[in-house]
Chains A and B, each alone.
Chain A
């Protein structure tokens, strides 16, 4: 791909976008908006199943009589399938290469074998025990409208008798129409001018926003505070604008199907495509799209306007291509990845004005806890977890997920995107622990199966006992360091690159000091207990004695541990 240009990039992206990891990433990106992970079994909120009305779903707790062990598993699979229903619909649409607009227009929901029983719907599965198998299902009498009619979305963005679905409406504009309605209300309101009867209908301070959100709020009229389908017996409120969208009013005969009607209007609106571009851009780059500068008196106003206009034009083109592709999400991702906002790695020396214009170009994104978690396992072969059944340190709310800038979809809903002192320490502990736990373990494997050390053996020492270089060993060590720079940091460097030299020096000096220390008794000949390779990580099965690595008399394992720690704490390991 490095020599193949955009065509090769397309091929790589096409392949990558067929993977489960890609679908998980799409879910993750929308999860930051939907925030329904609050209802997961290990979340901070009420478990999802508890939010379902037992009268509507009498079999919600179908697993209660299962034996211990099976019960807990079924509860978790069922609850989390209900909690993530909206997110799973998003990935289902992408997986099956449907138009992405179907996330709103789908006349179905998706269920796995466990949630199908919760809802009491008929659905057939290839494997009744596979929580990752998702199929379409329909709730009798419910006018489905993709994620709009999702139980969990309704609960996550609730309403009250006086709010009258305006909050839900505002979220529709924010998520699917690239419109922050509250920004329309940023202009000053004068409280002394609000004495009208029904100000949301009559007072100009209020009507600016309410004229936009109230009609959409009315299309949610059939869903109550708890997200139950309960068409209002007395009809919708007459003292607010009638249900509709934009200039169009919802026909009375469609009142029970207000959300499917709304979904159809939204996906026809050009702002829907723009919203997808914005959300994907934020998900991929970590940055919000630029907003039009408003301070005309600011010194940098013109430079910021230029930056905004360029980005708007590029995003507009991507949105158009998205529509032209019949809403193929992969089109958006490929296009964003090819923009300078994502790909630019460096620039010639910039003056002040040019710096402002290029302020948002390039990706300097700190990986999220979820991304870093996946990257660690991808490069080392093991997750950052003490043992196979342990907690994932970067994903678990009781460990480092919040400290590392993550969210809990409950009280913490925005990510920290720039590292602080604590996050630096999280990264340091990760690098130290992963180098300790995985270095010796990797050497247990045959070279062809190793993730990190395919070009060296523990016996490879860079110098002999007289301090003379051993050329073949030194060359192999350099080659392995070159490989680690590529594997861990994405750097393709020549063997004589200064950065290869720098890393080699880390290896060489730690090895020299260590070898001397072991010889004179300063250091132990054994590896620290936690850093020894004595059993298989996944099975806990002990290695045969001959394969165990417990001693490090020549200090090469610890020298490689130092190299791995050094690289895993690097800017390029922690950033995208």
Chain B
């Protein structure tokens, strides 16, 4: 029994078997939901620089006034800061190669007020749009909005990946073991004839499971247990599409772990089984020896993003790939006693993809990397304006994706102004 039939049978029986729902609540009527057709809508790629990156070494550059400056904000000079199109960048690491190549697709948002310098809260704020707990990550939100039934609807390699129960989250392990999972009914994954059971037996088992699922759910009233049952039955009913992933995975995966994340995520999307993913690169929490550690890490990140754009282009999906790059928070303007930089509650984000205007910089910070308020209409600096916060970016992205007024958005509202970030 395929998923559609399964849902139909259960619906006829008055049961609520859908993609995972918020515990204790009925499923959302009218939630955008696909079926067995491969997902081919927008591909949402969230890239997390774990530990708190330093935007002043990246897309919100701040340099020293002179080589002799005492306690400079950074060790490079203001005069050496470079520019690609409208985007200024710090003259370090791999910045020039990246920004010169990709500035036309990039939208940089600087001066984002994170209101925290704690890792957990910062990561949560960036990726859920809310400082407090309880809201799903952006990836989970979009996966749940468009095709929660897909077997890898939300693929996470780390970072903030809470789902609030609205979609199942998948973590990738050793992809070489996936073949055995793609064909669990075969003794030899490569041999379609090598079934453990006859086809008749497989169908019999499947039908018996559906009947038992129906009976178990009908007899269960505790919301927590109902939720657990629904989640398993839904996960099981969509699981065969995993085979499609096999077709799109490259024969040899890259040795670099971030590039490997890109390859698996793109394969999953191209297979039509993935809506969103969290890509993750850690190592940015450089409390000591900042420049020597942080700049190479940023370079690895940018090279990974370059790889992502190139691979998406080669696969013909770049026009459907929406990329959001962010971190927990920023780093202090200036160095501590160990030449490191500590936590700082101001950061930047970079975005690219369909509907995102490239070669654009929104928001500013002052010389001490404090956020400057912007006019909510013009986005120009304004003393009476507002500070840009993650919620504004989330609201704009929801709107861009066409789910700003959905029931899911109503369940997880983000109060705030609608800024014309991508107009």
A interface residue numbers (CB < 8 A to B): 160-163, 182-183, 185-186, 188-192, 209, 291, 294-295, 344-350, 355-356, 358-366, 397-403, 405, 411-412, 416, 418-429, 432-433, 435-436, 498-499, 502-503, 505-506, 509-510, 513-514, 517, 523, 528, 530-531, 558, 561-562, 565-566, 569-571, 574-575
Contacts and interface: CB of A to CB of B under 8 A. Distances in A.
Given A188-B131, A346-B225, A436 B205 contact: no
A420 B170 contact: yes
B151 A359 contact: no
B205 A502 contact: no
Which 6 residue pairs across A and B have the least CB separation, nearest first?
A421-B151, A364-B228, A402-B173, A420-B168, A429-B184, A428-B184
Contacts of A574: 232
Interface of B: 20, 23-24, 113-121, 131-134, 150-152, 158, 163, 165, 168-174, 176-178, 180-182, 184-185, 187, 194, 196-198, 200-201, 204-205, 208-209, 211-213, 215-216, 219-229, 231-233, 235-236, 238-239, 241-242, 273, 282, 287-288, 336-338, 340, 342, 344-346, 369-371
Given A182-B120, A499-B215, 8 more contacts: A161-B337, A162-B288, A188-B116, A191-B369, A192-B371, A402-B171, A403-B173, A421-B239
B131 A186 contact: yes
Contacts of B174: 397-399, 402
Interface centre among B115, B117, B181, by most A CB within 10 Å? B181
Contacts, number: 257
Contacts of B120: 182
A420 B151 contact: yes
Contact of A398 (B177, B213, B288): B177
Contact of B196 (A190, A398, A412, A432): A432
B345 A189 contact: yes
A498 B200 CA distance: 22
Contacts of A558: 197-198, 201
B196 A435 contact: yes
B194 A400 contact: no
A436 B287 contact: no
Contacts of B198: 510, 513-514, 517, 523, 558
Nearest to B23: A359
Contacts of A191: 113, 344-346, 369-371
Contact of A349 (B117, B180, B200, B221): B221
Contacts of B24: 355-356, 359
A333 B120 CA distance: 30
A176 B171 CA distance: 29
A78 to B, nearest CB: 27
Contacts of A190: 115
B173 A562 contact: no
A77 to B, nearest CB: 26
Nearest to B227: A364
A314 to B, nearest CB: 16
Contacts of B114: 189
Given A191-B370, A419-B235, A565 B171 contact: no
